[in-house]
């Protein structure tokens, strides 16, 4: 399987060195002291995960299941450490119980990055269907979520969302759309 490499929308910024979506996410996490990064792998997230592993500021590790990572992040928050969960759409679909019984009622500022499958050229019918469950779940719990499609809005959205999650003690989902990441394309 191949990932469509970083597509590059026109940059308004002068510096282009760090202007990849994953570079911006990494730097914004670091600036907000979000350093504990459990993930369940996703092809599109690969460059981000690789760079997080390479940066000693971050504690980056795979978990067997997404809900497990939510538990870890809840414990870490209560112990005084900030983190974020990386996953894909189908992984988010496994989280309804833990969001409704842990993150929301205990008021945990759970920061979630969801690599969006199931849209804009999706080739797997199962992914397309599961994607349609995501926003209704977020909306039914009245959770803040943003779908990011543009590189020039990424830093603002991620930075402000982290700050809002922490100060309002509420989860947030940042959905990384294929328009931002290139997504995954049928390549077989």
Partner 1 sequence: MSKDTANRNTKVMNRYDVTSRLIGKLQNEEAVIGGIGNTNFDLWAAGHRPQNFYMLGSMGLAFPIALGVALAQPDRRVIALEGDGSLLMQLGALSTIASLKPKNLTMIVFDNGIYQITGSQPTPAASVADIVAISVGSGLTNSVWAADEEDFERLVDESLGASEPTLIALRIDDQPGVGTTRRDPVQIRERFMHGLGVRQPL
Nearest to 73 by CA among 62, 84, 64: 84
Minimum gap (Å) between residue 31 Cβ and partner 1: 20
Number of residues that bind partner 1 (CB under 8 A): 33
Determine which residue in the list 29, 44, 52, 73 makes contact with partner 1, applying CB under 8 A.
Answer: 73
Q: Which residues of 82-116 are buried (b: 16+ CB within 10 A; e: fewer)?
A: bbbbbbbbbbbbebeebbeebbbeeebbbbbbbbb
Asked if 117 and 124 count as a contact pair (C-beta separation under 8 A), the reply is yes
Q: Is 76 in the site for partner 1 (CB under 8 A)?
A: yes
In 10 A of CB 45, how many CB atoms?
Answer: 23
Among 13, 18, 46, 75, interactor with partner 1 by CB under 8 A: 75
According to CB under 8 A, which one of 6, 27, 51, 59 is a site residue for partner 1?
A: 59
Question: Which residue's CB is nearer to partner 1, number 48 or number 73?
Answer: 73
Residues at the site binding partner 1, with contacts judged by CB under 8 A? 36, 38, 59, 61-65, 67-81, 83, 97-98, 100-102, 105-108
């Amino acid at each position: 399987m191949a990932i469509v490499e970083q597509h590059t929308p026109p940059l308004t910024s002068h510096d282009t060195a760090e202007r990849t979506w994953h570079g911006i996410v990494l730097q914004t996490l670091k600036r907000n002291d979000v350093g504990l990064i459990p993930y369940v792998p996703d092809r599109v997230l690969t460059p981000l995960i690789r760079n997080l592993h390479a940066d000693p500021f971050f504690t980056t590790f795979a978990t067997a299941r997404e809900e497990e990572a939510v538990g870890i992040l809840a414990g870490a928050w209560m112990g005084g450490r900030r983190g974020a969960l990386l996953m894909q759409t189908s992984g988010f679909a496994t989280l309804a119980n833990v969001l409704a019984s842990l993150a929301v009622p205990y008021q945990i500022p759970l920061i979630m990055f969801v690599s969006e499958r199931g849209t804009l050229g999706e080739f797997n019918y199962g992914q397309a269907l599961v994607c349609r469950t995501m926003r209704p779940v977020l909306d039914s719990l009245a959770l803040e979520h943003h779908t990011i499609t543009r590189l020039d809005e990424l830093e603002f959205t991620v930075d402000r969302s982290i700050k809002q999650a922490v100060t309002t003690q509420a989860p947030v989902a940042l959905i990384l759309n294929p328009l931002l990441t290139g997504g995954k394309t049928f390549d077989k």
